[in-house]
């Protein structure tokens, strides 16, 4: 079966068409600047030349129509008709407390996605438009919602509660959820297979270190804690997000700088993290270059980022009373051997030992700990699209 994976961001749409017989990617692409001047499509059919089209796209509905047209085009298409698409898997940001698993879309599911607009104001509306546009363009084809919050729903109450008046949980479902769920779910499962761990009992920590960064602890593949909270702002230091912070900082900046709460939150989401500390960039490659040139603020940003990851690994090891494997994934986790090494230097008390030669590999699946290491440490490339496609196939087959 061929499965189309759709990931609608606030003004973008990423897609992949995957042949599930061999999990090969038939085509993938990106639409950017939806609803903004200069919207365009970049379509990459496997084995054919890349195709680009600039076109005014006012909504995600226009974008979906353009993507489907590209997929069936006689020159740069990869299928003869959209009838060949067996199902569509949609990445959906937030399901609140309603769903802890992927689900075939019906009216109730769409209602829940709509009810969660408050919790995911940038993504849930786009996700719903994407679903409805695919329903209109491919009537009768199963649409599956794969929620970014689903993995975190397995967290026990002690991990998801905020210590605030309980009525806010009852009234608004105000609690910790966690994000990057498809990545944490995929990488934890792949780690279990790759490191040959007991699938029922193994204790795994996944460090998803990209521009957005989060960390999860799972036992037997079930999440017991994860670092993002009600929104992706909580937890690790990220490219532009502060991660954990004393909420009084919001009040302090608002009062001193004459800003509203929304404006300060915007600063914590978009102008903080390693960008905020370094003043150099949100991109870790730029941070590294500045570190190599002796830029003290870039070094401070890198050190704080690494320290926070190590601190969370320590906390999650306590949460699980042990850890069998630690996995690194996403842009930094898959590629940056130096960061993996620096993080693991904090973990020698756990008996973690890194093999420098193995750790020199980039962007591939590799065991980077020595045979003597008490904890297996791996780098596993994440693949959120494949994870969504597998979830979709499991529901429709």
What are the catalytic residues?
Answer: 148
Task: Single out the segment in contact with ligand ADP by CB under 6 A; choices: 52-60, 137-145, 261-269, 326-334.
Answer: 326-334
> 243 with 214: CB under 8 angstroms?
no
**Residue tagged 């994000």 (tokens):** 179
* Options 147, 151, 194, 284; binder of ligand ADP; rule CB under 6 A: 284
335 is in an annotated binding site: yes
Indicate whether 210 belongs to the interface with ligand ADP (CB under 6 A): yes
**DSSP string spanning 226-250?**
ES--SSTTSSS--SS---S--THHH
Indicate whether 111 belongs to the interface with ligand ADP (CB under 6 A): no
> 105 with 99: CB under 8 angstroms?
no
Task: Single out the segment in contact with ligand ADP by CB under 6 A; choices: 41-49, 113-121, 145-153, 325-333.
Answer: 325-333
Task: Single out the segment in contact with ligand ADP by CB under 6 A; choices: 12-20, 114-122, 135-143, 330-338.
Answer: 330-338
What is the spatial distance between Cα 383 and Cα 397, in angstroms, rounded to a whole number?
21
* Options 65, 101, 283, 355; binder of ligand ADP; rule CB under 6 A: 283
Task: Single out the segment in contact with ligand ADP by CB under 6 A; choices: 92-100, 116-124, 207-215, 260-268.
Answer: 207-215
* Options 330, 344, 380, 386; binder of ligand ADP; rule CB under 6 A: 330
60-72 helix and 124-137 helix, angle to the nearest 10 degrees: 40
For ligand ADP, which is the closer residue by CB, 96 or 210? 210
Question: Which positions from 225 through 254 interact with ligand ADP, judged by CB under 6 A?
Answer: 239
CB of 292 to ligand ADP, least distance (A): 13
CB of 215 to ligand ADP, least distance (A): 14
Q: Which residues pair with 52 in a beta bridge?
A: 42
For ligand ADP, which is the closer residue by CB, 143 or 282? 282
Indicate whether 151 belongs to the interface with ligand ADP (CB under 6 A): no
Give the helix ranges, DSSP H, for 271-383: 273-278, 284-292, 296-320, 330-335, 337-345, 356-359
CA distances from 348 to 2, 227, 312, 369 (A): 46, 22, 15, 11
Indicate whether 285 belongs to the interface with ligand ADP (CB under 6 A): yes
384-396 helix and 181-194 helix, angle to the nearest 10 degrees: 90
* Options 325, 332, 343, 367; binder of ligand ADP; rule CB under 6 A: 332
CB of 388 to ligand ADP, least distance (A): 14
Looking only at the bridges linking them, the beta strands covering 203-209 and 142-147 are: unpaired
| DSSP strands (E only) in 121-267 | 142-147, 203-209, 213-219, 222-226
- Residue 273 backbone phi and psi in degrees, to 5: 60, -150
342 is in an annotated binding site: no
284 is in an annotated binding site: yes
* Options 12, 82, 141, 211; binder of ligand ADP; rule CB under 6 A: 211
What is the spatial distance between Cα 48 and Cα 377, in angstroms, rounded to a whole number?
38
Give which of 220, 214, 210 is closest to 188, Cα–Cα. 220
Task: Single out the segment in contact with ligand ADP by CB under 6 A; choices: 44-52, 221-229, 262-270, 281-289.
Answer: 281-289
**Residue tagged 């709460």 (tokens):** 261
* Options 335, 373, 383, 387; binder of ligand ADP; rule CB under 6 A: 335
Can you say which residues are annotated as belonging to the binding site for ATP?
Answer: 14, 208-212, 283-285, 331-335
Can you say which residues are annotated as belonging to the binding site?
Answer: 7, 14, 91, 208-212, 283-285, 331-335, 384
Can you say which residues are annotated as belonging to the binding site for substrate?
Answer: 91
Q: Which residues bind ligand ADP (CB under 6 A)?
A: 210-212, 239, 283-285, 330-332, 335-336
């Amino acid at each position: 079966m061929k499965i189309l994976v759709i990931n609608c961001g606030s003004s973008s749409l990423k897609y992949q068409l995957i042949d599930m017989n061999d999990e090969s990617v038939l085509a993938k692409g990106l639409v950017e600047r939806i609803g903004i001047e200069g919207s365009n499509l970049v379509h990459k059919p496997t084995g054919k030349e890349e195709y680009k089209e600039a076109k005014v796209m006012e909504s995600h509905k226009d974008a979906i129509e353009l993507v489907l047209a590209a997929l069936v085009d006689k020159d740069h298409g990869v299928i003869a008709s959209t009838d060949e698409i067996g199902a569509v898997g949609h990445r959906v940001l937030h399901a609140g407390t309603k769903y802890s698993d992927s689900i075939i879309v019906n009216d109730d599911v769409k209602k829940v996605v709509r009810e969660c607009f408050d919790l995911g104001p940038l993504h849930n509306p786009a996700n719903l438009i994407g679903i409805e546009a695919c329903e209109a363009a491919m009537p009768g084809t199963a649409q599956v919602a794969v929620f970014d919050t689903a993995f975190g729903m397995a967290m026990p109450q002690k991990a998801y509660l905020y210590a605030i008046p309980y009525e806010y949980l009852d009234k608004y479902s105000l609690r910790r959820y966690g994000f990057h769920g498809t990545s944490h779910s995929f990488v934890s499962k792949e780690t279990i297979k790759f490191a040959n761990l007991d699938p029922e009992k193994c204790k795994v920590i996944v460090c998803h270190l990209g521009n957005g960064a989060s960390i999860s602890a799972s036992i037997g593949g079930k999440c017991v804690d994860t670092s993002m909270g009600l929104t992706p702002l909580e937890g690790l230091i990220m490219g532009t997000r502060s991660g954990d912070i004393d909420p009084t900082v919001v009040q302090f900046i608002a009062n001193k700088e004459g800003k509203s709460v929304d404006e300060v939150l915007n600063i914590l989401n978009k102008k903080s993290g390693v960008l905020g500390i370094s003043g150099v960039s949100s991109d870790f490659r730029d941070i590294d270059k500045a570190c190599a040139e002796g830029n003290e603020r870039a070094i401070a940003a890198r050190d704080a980022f690494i320290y926070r990851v190590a601190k969370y690994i320590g906390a999650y090891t306590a949460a699980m009373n042990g850890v069998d494997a630690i996995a690194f994934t996403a842009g930094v986790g898959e590629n940056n051997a130096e960061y993996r090494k620096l993080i693991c230097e904090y973990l020698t008390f756990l008996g973690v030992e890194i093999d420098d030669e193995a750790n020199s590999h980039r962007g591939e699946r590799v065991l980077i700990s020595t045979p003597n290491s008490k904890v297996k440490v791996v780098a596993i490339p994440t693949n959120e699209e494949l994870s969504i496609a597998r979830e979709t196939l499991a529901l429709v087959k």
